[in-house]
Amino acid sequence: MSGDKLELLASLSKLSPEDFEGNEVERLQFISAAQKVVNALQTNEEKVYDVTFTQPIVFSALQICVDLGLWEAWTAAAGNTKTVEELSKMTKPQADPNLIRRLLRLLGSVGIIQEVGEDTYSATRFSLALGDKNSLMPQSIQCRTHHWQDGCVNLPKYLAKIGYKEPQDAKDSNYADWCPEKLNFFDKCVAAPAYQDSFSGFMTAWAKYKLPWPEFYDTKSLVEGADLTDGGVLCVDIGGHHGVDLTRLLNKHPELPAGALVLEDLPEVVSGAKGLSEKITVLPHDMFKPQPVKGSRAYYFHAVFHDWPDAVALEVLKNVGAVMKKGYSKLLINDIVIPPTGTSSIQATMDVEMMAILSAYERTESMWTNLVTSSGFKIIKIWKDGRGNESLISI
């Protein structure tokens, strides 16, 4: 290998997220370029080995270490360098040292942890997060075990079963096809609290990663045009989970009065909303029932409509349209808008995952236009997040 290539490798290996602080787009461009380099350099045999052999077993090793409490114990020990023997003694129940050796050898080879010597490992930023429940990484791992894994494995069989038609039935879905109780995704979350908890953990972690919507949408004009006297409401976050988006709005506009922000979601979901500002009203509500808050300045949906095919989404829009004040109320949809070309990996993954789990999809701009106009609305503007992942559709 030439000196130039060695110098380039040494330089790239030292990069970290901190090197791109304040320039998130550049960081994502580097990741995309690096992935393209890997794809270009891999042989067909290496690629198929990675996809079919490495990725599934790496996840299994991660889940086993979660189940054994290894990540949590190691993080509690400040992630200090440990031997296999020391790490095996941290597991509950205590696992065979050679079993732990084999798992750690795998995880070290793919960068989950760092090998520093024979049978000796140090923690990484990611493995430390796996041991910290507040990071929501353990819940995200569990979410794949609960939801994504079986759904993805079952998808080829399910599509063959329905004649390779695009899934459109929210009830008779691929998820319900593999689920032992034949429940769809949301019904399973209601029936099994642990499944709801892992999903909530994943969703909260992913929501924190996303660019806050007040950073790329003009919330100032929204607030300035609002009448908040006599208990007027500025924003109703429908299907708002644990209130991350309303909290971000309040952080930008701390002067908002109590009651101006309303968080709505199913009772099983909003019961998990902890530590919210007293200014945010929590209102358990099923969005398929009539909207109880009338005349709000804005009705906001974040990653809600991608859960539902058009026929179902229209029901929700109808309920909101019935209570909006003409010329005053706004409908804000924060979601993915699939571009004509250059769809990101995150966008494309989310699209097919929605098909596998919910018989739903991410929409192109023309699909959003069709949905919105079918509801009697009109798109005013699409605000892009700058990352190339989500947009905010102002209606």
Dump pLDDT digits (tens) for 149-171. Answer: 999 999 999 999 999 999 999 99
Locate 335 and state its tokens.
């979601």
User: What is the per-residue pLDDT across 306-336, written as a single tens digit (0 to 9) for each?
Assistant: 999 999 999 999 999 999 999 999 999 999 9
| Two tokens, residue 90 | 């941290």
Can you say whether residue 176 is alpha, beta or left, with left for phi > 0 and alpha for psi between -120 and 50 degrees? alpha
Q: Is the pLDDT of residue 1 over 80?
A: no
On whether the CB atoms of residues 336 and 350 are closer than 8 A, the answer is: yes
Q: Spot the catalytic one: 241, 242, 302, 306.
A: 306
Specify the pLDDT at position 24.
Answer: 86
At residue 380, what are phi and psi to the nearest 5 degrees?
-90, -45
Q: Which residue has the higher pLDDT, 28 or 239?
A: 239
Q: Quick one: DSSP state of residue 236?
A: E
Percentage above 90 pLDDT, the chain: 90
In the three-class reduction of DSSP (H, G, I as helix; E, B as strand; rest coil), residue 374 is classed as helix
Provide long-range contacts, Cβ within 8 A and 24+ apart, for 346-354: 346/389, 347/388, 347/389, 350/306, 353/148, 353/152, 354/306, 354/307
Alpha carbon 201 to chain centroid, angstroms:
9
pLDDT given at position 301? 98
Strand partners, 333: 301, 393
Looking at domain 210-394, its CATH superfamily turns out to be: Vaccinia Virus protein VP39 (3.40.50.150)
**pLDDT of residue 2 exceeding 80:** no
What per-residue confidence (pLDDT) applies to 60?
97
Which pLDDT does position 63 carry in this prediction? 97
Question: How many of the other CB atoms lie within 10 Å of CB of 230?
Answer: 5
Given a contact cutoff of 8 angstroms between Cβ atoms, the answer to whether 393 and 335 are in contact is yes
Of 194, 199, 168, 170, nearest to 183 by C-alpha is: 170
**pLDDT for the residue 66:** 97
pLDDT at 160: 98
Distance CA 50, CA 208 (A): 29
* Helix, coil or strand: residue 93: coil
Residue 337 class from Cβ within 10 Å (0-12 exposed, 13-18 middle, 19+ buried)? buried
What pTM, to 2 d.p., does this model score? 0.91
**pLDDT, mean over the chain:** 95
306 is catalytic: yes
User: Comparing 23-27, 137-141, 212-216, 261-265, which segment has the lowest mean pLDDT?
Assistant: 23-27
Give the residue, 63 or 7, on which the prediction is more confident: 63
The architecture that CATH gives domain 18-133 is Orthogonal Bundle (1.10)
Domain with CATH 1.10.10.10 in the chain: 18-133
- From the list 97, 102, 16, the residue with the least C-alpha distance to 58 is 102
Chain region(s) in the chain for CATH 3.40.50.150: 210-394
User: Residue 3: pLDDT above 80?
Assistant: no
* Residue 37 token pair: 């380099």
Helix, strand, or coil here: 336?
A: coil
